[in-house]
Structure 1
Amino acid sequence: MFLIAAYLYPPATSAACFIFSPTDCTLLNQPPAPKIPTRELTDDETISQVVIKEILKTPPVESNNRKIAFLFLTPGQLPFEPLWAKFFQGHEGRFSVYVHASKEKPVHTSHYFMGRDIHSESVVSPKIAAIKMQVSWGKISMVDAERRLLAKALLDSDNQQFVLLSESCIPLQNFDYVYNYLMLTNVSFIDSFVDLGPHGSGRYSEHMMPEVEKDDFRKGSQVNPF
């Protein structure tokens, strides 16, 4: 029985290798074959991989005043701004607010939101006039807006957690609960699920291959509820 087990499960160490199968030890000692990419990477993808590796090697920034960055992605006004103001009240110094309005500049009623607007990049029209880039739902422009919000928040090294919100989001717990919950966790919360309908799997395109297989395609929310 022992010999059968040794045959079914080949030795994984050099010592066991020489005991059971000396002739096959050369294969065990050989370095692993290099991973062959499914396709040749573009210059931008190669540069991105190098940058990501350098970022991962960078030690985390130590902060004596850890804050949560609340990133509001909205087309215009924030209808629940008064509610958020009550949520933030009394917790100054423990949070940051950033607002990206894509269609119209919101008129803020709370001092927590005043001066916290992030402006979209401008493009030059054929008439040489700067116009604001429009952010459309489900388009890459929305991803660009989210990246712009995150980039602004990352300029403050005290921001340790980041919450992406829309104009329709409201807090369901008090500030202390949210703060302690996020600061004590070491995972990210992403809404991702299988949707077999036209607005889920129906949006899959063969052009996503080979990076994204159809079985791996998911629908996700672009805001983080809590």
Structure 2
Amino acid sequence: MTLPTTRPTRLQTVLLAIAAPAVVFALYMALIWAPDERTLGTVQRIFYIHVGSAWNAYLSFLIVFVCSIGYLLRRSVSLDALAASAAEIGILFTTLTLATGSFWARAVWNVWWTWDPRLTTTLIMWFMYVAYLLVRAAAEGEERRGRLAGVFGIVAFSTVPLVHFSAIWWRSMHPNIIQPQGGTIRMNMDPEMVVTMMVAVIALTLVNAALLSYRVGLEHLSRHAAALRERVRLEVEY
């Protein structure tokens, strides 16, 4: 058994090459090109990173959900590795969402934290996926770990719609930028802000894809190394 190569794959190189300038362009639009919001002023600009981070947290946890179902049906090691990697990246984006939300709250509500439904449910989601990683770390045996993590990954995904609809189901101070109007959807922002938000979402999604590609490669490398250690241990014993 030999270890897989540690050199970046072509996909990883391409994703990184696209994601880096995309982030620079998104920051330019968010900090310079987009107009100031009429009420909040400059502090509103953190909103673009906040929305992009929240979207990518949702996306990462959706990947965990789908891969968890796939693993339980097919027992695919690759799907388990993808789920584990996506969970870590989802926690990263959720942390960024909470951090930018706290800065927003400080500027707008004059507090770093308030037990608003959207903030509270986002924190619950963060804890659920931290618990998911703890389950993975505590479980012994690759198959048992994958099975327990698969079940937990499916259950944990219930927090995603909870977060998304919390500002609608309960009284919340969190702003809703998308409003239904006469059977259509209206964005409560200037067109330039909408474009900037979409660019930021796309840029952070590219970062997500690049991180996921590298993390999955590292996960496979780690599993190969663990298998080699086990093989050496068995050879020494016998």
CA radius of gyration, larger in: 1
Higher relative contact order (Cα pairs below 8 Å, separated by 6+ residues):
2
Structure ranking higher in strand proportion: 1
Per the normalisation by structure 1, the TM-score is 0.24
Structure ranking higher in helix proportion: 2
Per the normalisation by structure 2, the TM-score is 0.23
